Amino acid sequence: MLEKTLVILKPCTIQRALVGEIIRRYEIKGLQIIGMKMVWLTDEKLSEHYAHLKDRPFFQRVKNSMMTTPVVICCLQGVDAVHTVHTMAGATNGRNAAPGTVRGDYCMSTQSNIVHTSDTAENAAVEINRFFKPEELFDYQLAFFDYLYANDEF
């Protein structure tokens, strides 16, 4: 079963000109980009997105950092996409992230940690709906799809 997940390429990724490099990693893995756009996030949208952090002392700092530049928001699809993308991101604190993960290879920070990724299928569905309209997601077949999975994996 194909699954959808959300990735936000954070302002630190934009400022360090890593957008193409990070997206390339997902594509090489075999994940399909079915939606992608650049947007300025608002305080309102970030308050909704980070509502689970609202009582934390760093809540406003996180929101402020996410509004310093536009971000690139992607919807990726693949078998076990949520788990795969979240695992590829690595530990939240880049100093603790394993080499080979996005954060392990590209960051030294907890906050400026390159990407946000959905952590569960339920959260992915909510986050995708938060950032994408249905008409902004595309259903198409990759030419090499039959070479990504065994026929009993999807």
- Is the separation of the CB atoms in 69 and 19 below 8 Å? no
Does the annotation count 116 as an active-site position? yes
The span from the CA of 49 to the CA of 71, in Å, is 14
Active site residue: 49, 52, 86, 116, which one? 116
Strand residue runs (E) in the chain:
2-9, 32-39, 71-79, 115-117
Amino acid at 60: Q
Kindly state the greatest CA–CA separation across the chain.
48
- Residue tagged 């390159």 (tokens): 114
Catalytic residues: 116
